Amino acid sequence: MNDHWKKALRYGVICIPAFFILNWTWKLRWSPDYLTAWGTFLTGIGTLIVAVGALYAAKMAISDYREKTQVEKARWLSDLFKQLFVDQTFKQIRQKIDFDDLEDIRGLIVKELVVQHLPNQGKFEPEDKKLLDAFTDYLNFFEFVGLLKKLGRLTDADIESLFDYYIRRLAEIDSDNLIRRYLSALGFENLIHLLNRGAEYLFVYGTLKKGFPHHKLISQAGLKLAGKAQLNGILYSLDGHDYPAGKIGRVSNLIQGELYHLPRKSADECLRSIDREEGVDEGLFARVLVQLEVEQQKIRTWAYTYLGSVDDKAEIKGGSYDKK
């Protein structure tokens, strides 16, 4: 059968039934059942058109709202950027943080913390008060950024792209937890939360290791073992204590330990819980932000450094604590 007859057959299969259907409907065109069916059909079509129109209007309204929201967000993000980087408001403090030149501010913070508990124990000179106020305003700026994050006005990506460097620098220079104690005294909980996002890992080398007495804090908090690791520092044994003292710093010695991945959603809560166990608020240890290398990849991690005095003769050779 050639193509001509194949086409004729296909048209016949379609057209002949269509002819009979149209002929039948034409005969019934004035019947009540026919008119009722057409009325129902047209009513349904009208309802469908109204529903589609409503959905389209809703979609356009949502799209318009999102566009306006994004424009507004871009505007105040620009304002935040200008306030931090362009205006002169925080220039002095930024420079001090960039070059780790905070000894004068640290001294003022210590004095302020004392004065808060013993108001008659100190008085600030005008220039000192001005400098401490400038630093506190700087911290308050990031407290506001943390509040915007909490309210959902800023995303993690927004913060990382605009403010990550200076938030991380605050954590890096806070080698003895003094700034975070000051933040707690000020009630700047949103900024503390931002600082605790500074690393996704926690390095442990003592009784928090697997098989040691305090490892339950790690397991109960949901931290996952990433592997063995080491970082620069010296490990000491402490007379009369069942835990070691790691002095983390820029030395050639290495401390052996374990690297754990923090749960992203509850990292802040986990770190605060372990801080309490490690005596951070009492000034026994400080949680510091450091960098180590794992499989030729540099990783930022939290680690606890001992703040007390140690006996050089008590150094643990090899940097590995094995006393259970």
**Which amino acid is it at 288?**
V
DSSP 201-228: EEEE-STTSTTSTTHHHHHHTT-EEEEE
- The residue whose two tokens read 């909490």 is 150
For the chain (324 residues), the mean pLDDT of every run of 10, in chain order, is: 54 52 51 54 57 59 58 80 90 94 95 84 87 97 95 90 94 95 96 95 96 92 94 95 94 96 92 94 95 89 97 95 82
Give the CATH number of domain 201-319; options: 3.40.50.970, 3.40.1440.10, 3.10.490.10, 3.40.830.10.
3.10.490.10
Calculate what percentage of the chain has a pLDDT beyond 90: 64
Query: What's the chain's Rg over C-alpha atoms?
Result: 34
CB 99, CB 151: distance < 8 Å: no
pLDDT for the residue numbered 264: 85
**Helix (H) or strand (E) segment spanning residue 237:** strand 224-237
Tell me the per-residue pLDDT of 75-96, one tens digit each, with 9 for 90 and over.
878 888 899 988 899 999 999 9
Distance CA 168, CA 288 (A): 11
**Residue 194 vs residues 5, 142, 208, 231, 243: alpha-carbon distances, Å:** 78, 9, 24, 24, 30
Residues β-bridged to residue 202: 260, 302
Distance CA 97, CA 188 (A): 19
pLDDT for the residue numbered 317: 94
pLDDT for the residue numbered 13: 47
pLDDT for the residue numbered 137: 97
Distance CA 323, CA 217 (A): 18
pLDDT for the residue numbered 286: 97
pLDDT for the residue numbered 19: 52
The residue extents of the domains of the chain are: 89-195, 201-319
pLDDT for the residue numbered 32: 58
- The residue whose two tokens read 């510091």 is 288
pLDDT for the residue numbered 48: 58
**CB-count exposure of residue 311 (10 Å: 0-12, 13-18, 19+):** exposed
Tell me the per-residue pLDDT of 144-188, one tens digit each, with 9 for 90 and over.
999 999 998 899 999 999 999 999 999 999 999 999 999 999 999
